[in-house]
Amino acid sequence: MSVHEVPPVALSKGEIGKMEAAMALGSFAIGTGEFAIMGLMPDIAANLHLSEPQVGHAISAYALGVVVGAPALAILGAKLLRKHMLLLLMALYAIGNLATAFAPSFAGLVAFRFISGLPHGAYFGIAAVVASSMVPSNQRAGAVARVMMGLTLAMLLGNPVATFLGQYFGWRSAFLLVGLIALCTIALVWHYVPQRSDEVRSDPRKELKAFTLPQVWMALGIASIGFAGMFCVFSYLAPTMLEVTRVAPQWIPFGLAAFGLGGIIGNIAGGKLFDRLQFRAVGIVLVWSTAVLVFFTFAAHSLWTLLLGIGLVGTMIALAAPLQIRLMDIAHEAPSLAAASNHAAFNLANALGPWFGGMAISAGLGWTSTGYIGAAAALVGLGIYAVARRMKGGQ
């Protein structure tokens, strides 16, 4: 089904707003569940008798779950109505996070984080297709950005609140909260997302065929490498604040909130930038990303400059909506798989970032080395973008 298809029953702006808000709550649950572990890294490490880089493996396990689950679940669910897929995916997310809250060991934590990651990409992909199909073509990036606003609000509010709860009531309480939010999302999606029985089902063979296009792989490469720098820095924000900035643990939620505020600004800016400049917006964001990651290495030594620096790193989320729409345009016969694969690529970045950063820290390069490693990743992403622009089909 084309993402430009006009719905058989016209929805009012209010109905579209409620539908977007329902799906955005799912984005909020996913964002809180994905990033909460980063703010609670010292607490989890102490409780399970691990090092912070070991806890980073649990972050990578979640990200790899997204990489595996995004294309697999998008293909397996191709014959289902999109509303039903959203409900099933959010149910799996609730189960994964509730199980995480009761993980008995490090091995259990890693396993349940992997399971929690499975529905992540497919949920965002299907929600993006639903949202973009309800608005004019020149407003699609804005519609996708509004659904993804839940993700950035999670960075601003959900993650700091989860970190606060985790510090005072134990880290497991944060994942109980995420499970409850996911259950609330199921109720709202059931009520506000329209069920279109005449919806044209996707053909898995056509979905897969679209992935023979080189430009699809260029876009996925930009997401997986160019975006790794943000996760390289953000994954180790809590120990950086403790060891480099030397603030009390109570300041960690404020660092997370600064990152989230930057994410909201970047999310809005990214949607507007792509609606105006199309693919050129991606190159602009990557140049900006390189600069702010280098700046973070100098900003981390003082609390107030760190809050500014991590807020600027948060603006890198501006890359998400432009690449989402870019993929949906290129692989127009496979909108669900393309949109889901974008999040798989971003979470490959989420796996690579902590891994690269952990290696640098373990090698004795210091906590702030994550900024330089991240900037190098952004430059590689910029190189892939330049190649994509020169290839046939680049714009």
Domains of the chain: 13-390 (1.20.1250.20)
Residue among 240, 263, 202 at smallest CA distance from 361: 240
**Predicted local confidence at residue 97, as pLDDT:** 94
Torsion over CA: 283, 288, 290, 291 (sign): positive
Helix (H) / strand (E) containing 16: helix 13-39
On the 0-12 / 13-18 / 19+ scale of CB atoms within 10 A, 18 is: middle
CA–CA dist 189, 87 (Å, integer): 7
pTM beyond 0.75: no
CA–CA dist 215, 87 (Å, integer): 31
In order along its 395 residues, the chain shows pLDDT tens digits of: 444 444 434 667 777 778 888 899 999 999 898 878 877 877 888 877 777 767 777 877 887 888 888 778 877 777 777 888 899 999 999 999 999 999 888 888 889 999 999 998 888 888 877 877 776 666 666 777 788 788 778 877 887 888 888 888 888 989 999 999 999 999 999 988 877 665 555 666 666 666 677 888 888 888 888 888 888 888 888 888 888 888 888 888 788 888 888 888 888 888 778 777 788 888 888 999 899 999 988 888 889 998 998 999 988 888 877 887 777 777 666 666 776 777 778 778 877 887 888 788 888 788 888 888 888 988 998 999 888 888 755 55
Radius of gyration of the chain (CA): 19
Residue among 384, 362, 348 at smallest CA distance from 63: 348
CA–CA dist 124, 343 (Å, integer): 7
DSSP 133: T
Residue among 18, 349, 24 at smallest CA distance from 154: 24
Residue type at position 359: M
**Predicted local confidence at residue 196, as pLDDT:** 64
**Predicted local confidence at residue 80, as pLDDT:** 78
Evaluate whether 133 touches 196 at the Cβ level (below 8 Å). Answer: no
Between the alpha carbon of residue 330 and those of residues 49, 184, 282, 327, 337, the distances in Å are 47, 34, 15, 5, 12
Question: What number of other Cβ atoms are within 10 A of residue 87's Cβ?
Answer: 19
CA–CA dist 348, 88 (Å, integer): 23
Between the alpha carbon of residue 322 and those of residues 154, 255, 278, 342, the distances in Å are 20, 26, 7, 11
**Predicted local confidence at residue 158, as pLDDT:** 84
For residue 172, what are the contacts with CB-CB under 8 A and spacing of at least 6? 100, 101, 102, 103, 166
Evaluate whether 273 touches 322 at the Cβ level (below 8 Å). Answer: yes
One-character DSSP codes across 312-366: HHHGGGGGHHHHHHHHHHHTTT-HHHHHHHHHHHHHHHHHHHHHHHHHHHHTT--
**Predicted local confidence at residue 107, as pLDDT:** 87
* Side-chain half-sphere CA neighbours of 393 within 13 A: 13
**Predicted local confidence at residue 199, as pLDDT:** 59
